[in-house]
Structure formats: C-alpha cells, structure tokens
Chains A and B, each alone.
Chain A
C-alpha cells in the first residue's frame, strides 16, 4: 500500500480542467513542501512536471499547476489536450522512508 493516496482514475474532455489529488498524513508528508508530480506515457519513463508543490521545470507548460491544502496536494491540468492522457504520480519526502514515497498513480483519460 502506497504511503500517498491518489484516485486510480480521472478524466476530462479536451479544453476542460481536471484536478488530481494526493493525500498523505501529518505524521509523514504533512510537514513538508517537497512534493513532486510526474507524467508517464505508456512505455516511457516518468517526466518531472511539478516540484516543491507548485514549481514547474523549464519547458513544462503553464497548463500544469500544483497546490496544497493541509495534507493533500493537487495537480491541475488546464486546457486538456489529447497528449495529456497518461499516468500521473505524486512523490513526497517522508519521515518514514528517507528516500521519499510515491502515490499509487492516477490514470488520466482525455475523453
């Protein structure tokens, strides 16, 4: 069982916005802002799209944004495009594992 809880699936139509959640606990991820998000297309390695909750690496479109509310972190994809269809994983520092923990992943479908 993953230390971070994500919904297994999410969906939206082209042009719409979709938000994916990632929930930890106050005893591990709650005290830190070291949360990242990765996008993984089938057969490809993951790609970093958000780090430190809400920072985009160079080259990642502004359509991808991150936020936090308490022990839950969010990835919002605005203006959905067909290529956004992929698996998305959150990743956080955690006291319980000094290498950090991943969420179980969310499959985003663009309808």
Chain B
C-alpha cells in the first residue's frame, strides 16, 4: 500500500526558514516523481513543483520557481520542501503528492497535508 507520511504542523515567524518532509513507502521511491501542492486558506490547489528521486531532476511551476526548494533523500525515501525565509503569505496546507508516472495531471496518491502558519 502506497503511503505518504508528512511532517506535522508548523508555526513560524516571518523571515524564519522551514523544511517540511514527506516519507514515502509501499513503492520504489526512485521510480516515480513526487512533489508538493499548495492549498491556501479557503482556496484551491496549486502544483508547486516535483522531483524525480532517481536522478534528482526537479521541475517547478512558474509561480514557485525561486521561491522554494524541493529535494529528496533516496536513502530514506523522503522528499522535502523548504523555504529560506517565510512570509505570511506562505500560510497554507502543503500536500505531498505522487503523480502517475510522468502524468502530472493525474495525482494518484496524496499525503494528509502539513499545515504551515506564518505569523508574527
């Protein structure tokens, strides 16, 4: 059974760094793209970016390029999403998502979400 287990909720201040995680199990981590979807309060879904753990190729949606960094550690089957300096507008739920092979418009598996709250 495929599972994506995300790190817990975070409360941070503006300007602080943050790295959240998603541990995958139930499949070969290096054979599938994995990424992050943002859902701001009361809003819809947005692809942020994906990584292919097999060779660390990374792709970002234009809106998020340069704003966040996606990485993966294939030794522990874990993907990460990190910010160098958070802003209040980063307050959102972040879902770890595994698309179907290379079809990013078909997300077969989702994590339960990590709530990030940025407030002074």
Interface residues of A (CB under 8 A from B): 2, 34-36, 38, 44-48, 51-52, 57, 89, 91-93, 97-105
Contact = CB atoms under 8 A, between A and B. Distances in A.
Interface string B75-103: 00000000000000000000100001001
B35 interface: yes
A2 B108 CA distance: 22
Interface residues of B, number: 23
Contacts of B106: 34, 36, 48, 51-52, 91
A46 B47 contact: no
B32 interface: no
A30 B108 CA distance: 23
Interface of B: 35, 44-47, 49-50, 59-62, 95, 100, 103-108, 110-113
A92 B60 CA distance: 16
24 contacts: A2-B44, A34-B103, A38-B45, A38-B107, A44-B112, A45-B111, A46-B45, A47-B110, A48-B107, A48-B108, A51-B100, A57-B108, A89-B44, A91-B105, A91-B106, A91-B107, A92-B105, A98-B104, A99-B35, A99-B47, A99-B49, A99-B60, A104-B44, A105-B45
Nearest to B50: A99
B47 A100 contact: yes
Given A45-B113, A51-B100, A105 B108 contact: no
B107 A46 contact: yes
A46 to B, nearest CB: 6
Contacts of A36: 105-107
B87 to A, nearest CB: 21
Contacts of A34: 103, 105-106
